[in-house]
Structure 1
Amino acid sequence: MDQLSAMRVFVRVVETGNFTRAAAALDVPKTTVTNMVQSLEAHLRTTLLNRTTRRVMVTTDGALYYERAQQILSELDELDASMSNSQTQPSGRLRVEMAGAFADLLVVPNLCDFYERFPQIRLDIGVGDRLVDYIAENVDCALRAGTPTDQSLIARKVGEMTMQAYAAPSYIQKFGEPTHPKELENDHFSVGYLNATAGRVMSPEFLQGEERVEINPRYVVSVNDARSYVNAAISGLGIVQSPCFMVREALEKGELVEVLPQWHCEPLPLYIVYPQTRHLSNKVRVFVDWLAKLVQSVKIEDSRKQIRRFG
């Protein structure tokens, strides 16, 4: 059995949904497709596909094998392409994980520019700020806020996000405006941000000159999603410390206003992370480079907005 060819046939059967369409796509007889899948199952000593008269269903083992086989074939195709002088454009499936706010407000609105440059890359975006098993889930890379602590990952810093404190006008009308960060521990409420990795509510820091204040926020609600975090502030549930780009629309609509303007926050670093065991392919490299430029442009725009606001 040619295992590599059998893997390609199996992957195509899964993607097309049945043996007939897979045979047509591969331009081979249906019996060849059937025999190769059966040989692969015999070699692996497991059932990969359950067949009925109408459709093919992937077994649990088949789903796991499909993910790994697809990854191996993709990397092999990319290796072949990198050795070919005729291949100038990176191509293939790119699986990326990122928080919903980064997807909705930063990456997705600018993807047309990415696809104009790299039309042969198919981008699959997983939205969420969760722990990821990069190998098992076949994730190529992830965009993460904050300095990574997982030593098994390679991290490349792609930029920083300007941070500031904000509250809804309805909150200020009810509780007043704080004049010092320490008031957020006793006299005011914050919206808590629950860090999924640390398993605790984050402790915001504020800076003024040489003074640094870390607070233990007093909150009535905490969330683990950036969009919900901002929406809770808009609803008047407390003060938030947020990247400027995430609240731009709320500021323009008057749903949020800046508080503690004399106190600054450390910029929020953004990293692209990927497993040490995974080769940094051309498709990942061009995406990381594109994203770094995008983050920098957002930071510059936010800085200009701040200058206009206080200048």
Structure 2
Amino acid sequence: MDRLEAMRLYTRIVELGSFTAAADDLNLPRATVTHAIKRLEARLGAQLLQRTTRRVSTTRDGETYYGHCVRLLADMDEVETDFREAAVHPKGRLRIDLSAALARLLVIPALPAFCSRFPQIELDIGTGDRFVDLVREGVDCAVRVGEPGDIGMVGRRVATLQQVTVASADYLRRRGRPDSLAALHDGHLAVNWSSPTTRRAEPLEFMVGRRRRQVSLPGRITVSGADAYLGCCIAGLGIAQFSRYRIERELARGTMVELLPTTPPPSLPMTVLYPPQRQMPARLRVFIDWLVELTADQR
């Protein structure tokens, strides 16, 4: 019998005034009750109970210990109740990290619905494309688009985001609209994306059936920031590739035009990263489930 169980047993003996009544109440053998109290008194180095033929009463030390037990057990019951309620009605602060575009265009516009559904969860949102040390910085989860790599975190894929190849309407008026991958080499330019890690310009990628094909185009501009990449494409400096959610407004307005839809870029995984833990907090679990719902139409 652990200390907490021994404390509960002791308080029932005091409240019922009987070893036998406490044993019956807790469905324990009488010998187990007697042995547990002897061990408790030995561990504390104090006699807690006075036994007579008719009733059990507390000693002065026993009365003091009973008061401590009642307070501690009440606190423990309150904590457990809070956690049980939190599993049904999650609450608390949740720190998340998102890319700026993902936050601005996809997640934040939908947050009123999340806040309405989970009114006791407070969100602390950080935005950026930098590496975040979740444990050291106290961040509950990071949402990333693209292959996250092995960084010692647990990763749950919540969506696979469609990508599109696009160019500005102004660019197409000047250089024409390519109707095949081969036509891309007929005087077309790319806004080159430079990997922040390798510093090399990445080629455009296309899915031809189930095969991935890379196409490298010349370009006057190379960028390594997401906003600059989009800005250069809007300015008519070349062809680029984006997740569809990122440029839906531009496509709807006609300032950007989708190219080669029959050979789209490969889709990108959207992953939630969080530290390994035995029990996931309910507030994190419901946020991840909500992201899965939110991105269902992006797949």
TM-score category of the 2 structures, normalised to the smaller one: 0.5 to 0.7
Kept in 2: contact 1:189–1:217 (CA 8 A): yes
C-alpha change, 1:84 and 1:161, in structure 2 (3 Å) is closer
| SS of residue in 2 equivalent to 1:139 | coil
Q: Structure 1 residues 197-206 or 169-178, which shifts more?
A: 197-206
- Matches of 1:82 and 1:181, distance apart in 2: 62
Q: Which amino acid aligns with 1:103?
A: A
Q: Deviations over 1:274-309 (max 9, x none)?
A: 12258521111110000111011344xxxxxxxxxx
Q: Structure 1 residues 277-286 or 115-124, which shifts more?
A: 277-286
Kept in 2: contact 1:95–1:139 (CA 8 A): yes
- Matches of 1:196 and 1:282, distance apart in 2: 35
Query: Larger C-alpha radius of gyration, 1 or 2?
Result: 2
| SS of residue in 2 equivalent to 1:95 | strand
State the identity as a percent: 35
| SS of residue in 1 equivalent to 2:212 | strand
Kept in 1: contact 2:212–2:266 (CA 8 A): no
C-alpha change, 1:280 and 1:211, in structure 2 (3 Å) is closer
- Matches of 2:239 and 2:129, distance apart in 1: 21
Q: What residue in structure 1 maps to residue 266 of structure 2?
A: 266
Structure 1 portions without partners, runs of 5+: 1-76, 300-311
- Matches of 1:204 and 1:81, distance apart in 2: 54
- Matches of 1:199 and 1:219, distance apart in 2: 15
How far off is 1:248 after superposition?
1.0
Pair 1:202-2:199 in alignment: no
C-alpha change, 1:127 and 1:81, in structure 2 (3 Å) is farther
How far off is 1:149 after superposition?
1.0
Structure 1-normalised TM-score? 0.64
Q: Structure 1 residues 221-230 or 178-187, which shifts more?
A: 178-187
1:146-185 pair list within 5 angstroms: 146-181=146-181, 184=184
Kept in 2: contact 1:205–1:213 (CA 8 A): yes
Kept in 2: contact 1:165–1:242 (CA 8 A): yes
| SS of residue in 2 equivalent to 1:264 | coil
RMSD, aligned CA: 2.6
Q: Deviations over 1:191-235 (max 9, x none)?
A: 223333554433332122355321234332233443432222111
Q: Which amino acid aligns with 1:242?
A: F
C-alpha change, 1:145 and 1:202, in structure 2 (3 Å) is farther
Aligned length: 222
Q: Deviations over 1:104-143 (max 9, x none)?
A: 1100000000001111111111111111111221111111
